Amino acid sequence: MDVFEQVPGPRGSELETLAKTRKQPQRYRWFDQWLAARPGPLRALVDTTVDFVQHHEEHTGKRKRARRRKDHEQHLQRLEAIICNLAYAVLSPPLGGRIAVSLGHGNCGRTRYDCPVMGKLFSSTLDLLWSLDFLDVQSPSVVRGEVSSIAVSSWFASKVAEAHVSLADFDRRQDEEIVILSRSNRSLRGKDGSVRKDRIDYAETKDTQRHRTNLRQLNAYLAAAAIDFLDDGLEPNVDPFERTMRRRFLIFSNQAQRFDQGGRLFGGFWQNLKSDRRKNIRIDGEATVVLDFSSMFTRLAYAHLGEKPPAGDLYSIPGFEDYRSGIKFAMNCFLFDGGARKSWPTELRVGVGNDANDGDDGRTGNALQAHLPFGSTVALVKQAILSVHPALKSAWDRRLGYKLMFQESEIMMEVLSRLAARNIPALCLHDGLIVAAPAAQISSEVMSSIAREHTGYDFPVCEKP
């Protein structure tokens, strides 16, 4: 008998006890390697720090000879990145009060996603600033999954305050990669069941150059636009200058490099805000509204099939009148599935609340966002939907959703570009926009027009309450 078979493992209740008593790793906001300083108070603080460090090295004998030109440039960039991260932590304190840093050399600087400042001298630069009381460094504990971290010192925090640094003083390096390609590896999953995605150091193409150029033009326009957020005193703090948009494309384990799957825009401060907080966004000093394509993904699927969708709410299914959220969730699942689904994702709870009453499943303790009634099996829900949308059967279970997502993102990029040409700042919400209230009508018209140009079909636009 195998020796391992002679030792019984912990029972279910024992596993739960172990999970509760096992120390969990500390999670902190990651060091932002691309953070930089604009001309002004922050730039002056960085320059003062550089002079201070240079004086220290010269008068303590820490440095015997001058750095080579390239090494000196990277030294300055490293100091700038660290000082900017410390100053940002003063203005927007991270959860837990510390910033996570990776001190291993690894493959830093070898891919398009790596910044030169994160090279082998990053750790020694942190140690130098630690000795000068700018920060402190904390090594990870024995807890698996924890990393090193830094925290700003009270002395340097006072210097940031004395310099009158504000969030408007921060910038980002221009060499940051904003076109991202990830490979989805469904055979490797995290503890939460999420699919692992690895960034691909792709070869440059005309498509990637076009995507990057368009994004940089958009980001330059947004950076100069009059966009603000009225402080509501809630957490987390909102940085209205966090406007750099990126696009993330996706390939699967058996696919070569391509850029026609995914591609949604992400990165703006407004995207992760709860809807009630978005009401505090101001554009050109005006209150804002949210414009949304009605049932966009389902309409894109119909357009792909060359079919016209039925009139009315596409997510209204007989027998599920109080469960629109669950029907929408299910239809999107079928569009992204690569084969026949047998069960629902954990995000969708069945028999727990409805759209009028979120409910609680008693296990997560969280309000739910998508609901289906008790007994809603995959087969039953699919049959109910196909009774209203029979044409969609040929669009499901073949990962069409990823290509539709690309089409959606191309539509939104052109909408943003057309509006910018009319000097109308707009903030993208995947298939919707945040615009100044006075610009709502013209923005809605532009959205409808471009969607029709791309698909040949009408896409209704509505203003969300």
DSSP 30-74: EP-TTEEE-TTHHHHHHHHHHHHHHHHHHHHTS-SSPPPHHHHHH
CA angle 35, 38, 41 (to 5 degrees): 110
For residue 326, the tally of other CB atoms under 10 A from its CB is: 26
Q: Is 75 exposed, middle or buried (0-12, 13-18, 19+ CB in 10 A)?
A: middle
Residue ending a domain, choose from 364, 388, 412: 388
Same domain, 277 and 408: yes
Provide φ and ψ at 462, rounded to 5°: -125, 155
Tokens of 11: 């029972």
Average pLDDT on 31-51 reads 98
SS3 content of the chain, % helix, strand, coil (to 5): 40, 15, 40
pLDDT digits (tens, 9 = 90+) for 6-20: 334 444 454 455 445
Range of the domain at 168: 29-172
Same domain, 106 and 187: no
User: What local confidence, expressed as pLDDT, does residue 190 receive?
Assistant: 53
Same domain, 415 and 350: no
Same domain, 412 and 287: yes
Total domains in the chain come to: 3
Average pLDDT on 140-149 reads 80
Helix (H) or strand (E) holding 303: helix 296-305
pLDDT digits (tens, 9 = 90+) for 206-230: 999 999 999 999 999 999 999 999 9
d(CA 323, CA 326): 5
Average pLDDT on 373-386 reads 98
Q: Is 86 helix (H, G, I), strand (E, B) or coil?
A: helix
Contact 26, 146 (CB under 8 A): yes
Residue 456 belongs to a domain: yes
Same domain, 202 and 245: yes
Whether pLDDT at 88 is above 90: yes
Residue 14 belongs to a domain: no
User: What local confidence, expressed as pLDDT, does residue 23 receive?
Assistant: 65
Overall pTM > 0.85: yes
User: What local confidence, expressed as pLDDT, does residue 363 receive?
Assistant: 43
Same domain, 80 and 201: no
Same domain, 124 and 245: no
Contact 87, 165 (CB under 8 A): yes
Whether pLDDT at 295 is above 70: yes
Residue 154 belongs to a domain: yes
Residue 184 belongs to a domain: yes
pLDDT digits (tens, 9 = 90+) for 385-417: 999 999 999 999 999 999 999 999 999 999 999
User: What local confidence, expressed as pLDDT, does residue 191 receive?
Assistant: 54
Same domain, 104 and 184: no
pLDDT digits (tens, 9 = 90+) for 235-277: 999 999 999 999 999 999 999 999 999 999 999 999 999 999 9
Residue 12 belongs to a domain: no
Q: What is the largest CA-CA distance in the chain?
A: 81
Same domain, 369 and 409: no
User: What local confidence, expressed as pLDDT, does residue 65 receive?
Assistant: 86
Same domain, 46 and 140: yes
Whether pLDDT at 432 is above 90: yes
Residue 1 belongs to a domain: no
**Band (185; pLDDT cuts 50, 70, 90):** confident
Residue ending a domain, choose from 110, 144, 172: 172
Residue 7 belongs to a domain: no
User: What local confidence, expressed as pLDDT, does residue 360 receive?
Assistant: 59
Residue ending a domain, choose from 120, 155, 172: 172
Residue 143 belongs to a domain: yes
**Band (110; pLDDT cuts 50, 70, 90):** confident
* CA-based radius of gyration for the chain: 26
Same domain, 222 and 371: no
Same domain, 219 and 111: no
